[in-house]
Amino acid sequence: MDYKEKIAQALANAADMPAEQIEPMIEVPTDSAMGDYAFPCFRLAKEFRKAPPMIAAGIAEKLELPECVKEAKVVGAYINFYLDNARIIRDVLVDVTEKGEAFGSVDIGHGRNVCIDYSSINIAKPFHIGHLSTTVIGSSLYKIYKFLGYNPIGINHLGDWGTQFGKLITAYKMWGRRQDIEDNSISAMLALYVRFHDEAEKDESLNDTAREWFKKIEDGDAEALEIFNWFKEVTLKEVKVIYDMLGVEFDSYDGESFYNNKMQPIIDELRDKDMLEESDGAYVVRLGEEIPPCIILKTDGATLYSTRDLAAAFYRKKTYDFYKCLYVVAYQQDLHFKQWFKVVELMGYEWAKDLEHVSFGMVSLEGATLSTRKGNVVFLQDVLEKAVEKTRAIIDEKSPDLQNKDDVAKVVGVGAVVFDALSTARIKDSTFSFERVLNFDGETGPYVQYTHARCKSLLRRADFDYKNHEKDYSAIDNKEAFAIAKLLLGFGETVQRACEKSEPYLVTKHIIEIAKAMNRFYFEHRIISDDKAATAARLMVADCVSGVIKMGLGLLGVGAPERM
């Protein structure tokens, strides 16, 4: 099934070069008229001491084409390969059918542990639209790594430490009611937090009171801890509803507070290695001329995010012996990760190279940065519920007789939001727009889901067991079916690239292309006819497409309803 590998071997034999050197050079032309694969000879000019077109012509003369290739043409410095369409279509469909949910999956992970730190919500603060990217990117990477044979470990590094808790307790003691928080949860805590900042602008002594309350938490004061732990309990209860809607799970909820007693050994080691240097009363690690020093201890002896992240990394390495440790955090923290990654490297630990910051763009609200302090947030739960509500209205209008309307509306509505968040390269900034996210036209999650449901509908309508029926593969020897076969063939490679680049959107784009190709096939060819053998072959296409789309959606964290 690996046609690229077979072409590489044929080229290697003709050029007297290792196939391993040839294969990475083979390209897939954007214009199918230029072949299904192309080998550019520019890089061989220095080694062969000839002009690239002459190299291409010389290699082509010696080529013995593998059975899967119909012909090869020299175009300038390129050798273009055209596959045997009928053979490829049949081979791919048989392969998808036989492998089922394992199609495209290659055990490159061999069970190695990969820690993925994502979502990392803040206790007592709203789960807003700005948290969507880290949550769905991390969750998708978790699924992709698992698909490729790794053992992913999902970590929700809770923001459960800092002076903000002193501020919140101060606000609660002054203006809050327990029943309000029990009834309204994070909304009530957000209102108190916003009020604190408004009042503190007029009365700076409130900040002193807040610091005192946080000091009580650090010192283990019974009342302070009771309120602090209650805030955590209320927050996690509410956010679990959102995680359940998104289908997101974690293996660990160890947050910042968990590492409070694990930082001192790191600080001691930095001192023992003469890496800590006093600077204006603080203690820092110098990182060279290109990177600013990493602050380990503030002037008052307090630790920082970098200190806790160092402690967390060492704990994870000791506990999980990870092959990789990913941090799905916005690009605003690029310098922070660069700094403490460098500290680990300078400490002499070679696993520093296995730490990866998976950065992503910021989400703004109509040009304004989302701000908890100002109460300028869009609650993610509101977004998801509005998406489900709109989907249900569309179903009532277009499919009034559909069974399980509420279930389908949830899968499609939530899926639309997740799919949208994973539809572009993660590094891009975006402005949140209800209109765009809830627009079900075009290259969207609902479009792909509908294609899957259409395939399932065809299989139901045919009402016969096509798998055990003779198939006339000549009925699908056409450009539309070949386009589908090539996309199905490329699914596994796309998933691997998404893993290598930490870019789930590559999977999103690929299954959109599969859906578009399937719809072209559907409109150009009658699927169900009196000719059972031809029908069986076309149904095989529909079944394979539905299976791969479902797998692709699953890797994104999106469901695939069978009826819409």
Supply the pLDDT for residue 149. 98
Question: Torsion-angle region of residue 280: left (phi > 0), alpha (psi -120 to 50) or beta?
Answer: left
pTM: 0.90
Delineate the domains of the chain, giving CATH numbers in brackets.
3-83 (3.30.1360.70), 113-260+305-369 (3.40.50.620), 264-302 (no CATH)
306-334: average pLDDT? 97
DSSP string, 241-270: HHHHHHT---SB---GGGGGGGSHHHHHHH
Select, from the ranges 83-87, 179-183, 552-556, the one with the highest average predicted confidence (pLDDT): 552-556
Whether residue 223 is predicted with pLDDT greater than 60 in this model: the reply is: yes
Q: Note the pLDDT tens digit of each residue in 185-200.
A: 888 998 999 999 999 9
Supply the pLDDT for residue 440. 72
Q: Note the pLDDT tens digit of each residue in 432-466.
A: 776 777 677 788 999 999 999 999 999 999 989 99
Whether residue 245 is predicted with pLDDT greater than 90 in this model: the reply is: yes
Please check whether residue 156 is in contact with residue 115, taking contact to mean a CB–CB distance below 8 angstroms: no
Q: Note the pLDDT tens digit of each residue in 15-40.
A: 999 999 999 999 999 888 899 999 99
Between 223 and 301, the more confident residue is: 223
Supply the pLDDT for residue 368. 54
Supply the pLDDT for residue 301. 81
Q: Note the pLDDT tens digit of each residue in 51-102.
A: 999 999 999 999 999 989 999 999 999 999 999 999 999 999 999 999 999 9
Please check whether residue 220 is in contact with residue 530, taking contact to mean a CB–CB distance below 8 angstroms: no
309-322: average pLDDT? 98
* Type of residue found at 288: G
Whether residue 304 is predicted with pLDDT greater than 80 in this model: the reply is: yes
Nearest to 346 by CA among 425, 273, 451: 273
Question: Torsion-angle region of residue 329: left (phi > 0), alpha (psi -120 to 50) or beta?
Answer: beta
Q: Note the pLDDT tens digit of each residue in 344-384.
A: 999 999 999 999 999 999 877 665 555 555 556 778 888 89
170-191: average pLDDT? 93
Supply the pLDDT for residue 441. 75
What are 283-292's contacts with CB under 8 Å, separation 24+? Answer: 285/343, 285/346, 287/339, 287/342, 287/343, 287/346, 288/342, 291/335, 291/338, 291/339, 291/342, 292/335, 292/339
* C-alpha distance from residue 297 to each of 347, 364, 456 (Å): 17, 32, 60
Q: Note the pLDDT tens digit of each residue in 377-400.
A: 778 888 899 999 999 999 999 999
Between 337 and 124, the more confident residue is: 337
Give residue 331's pLDDT band: very low, low, confident or very high (50, 70, 90).
very high
b (16+ CB within 10 A) / e for 371-388: ebeeeebbbbbebbeebb
Whether residue 116 is predicted with pLDDT greater than 60 in this model: the reply is: yes
Supply the pLDDT for residue 385. 92
Residue found by looking up tokens 């479009």 in the block: 447
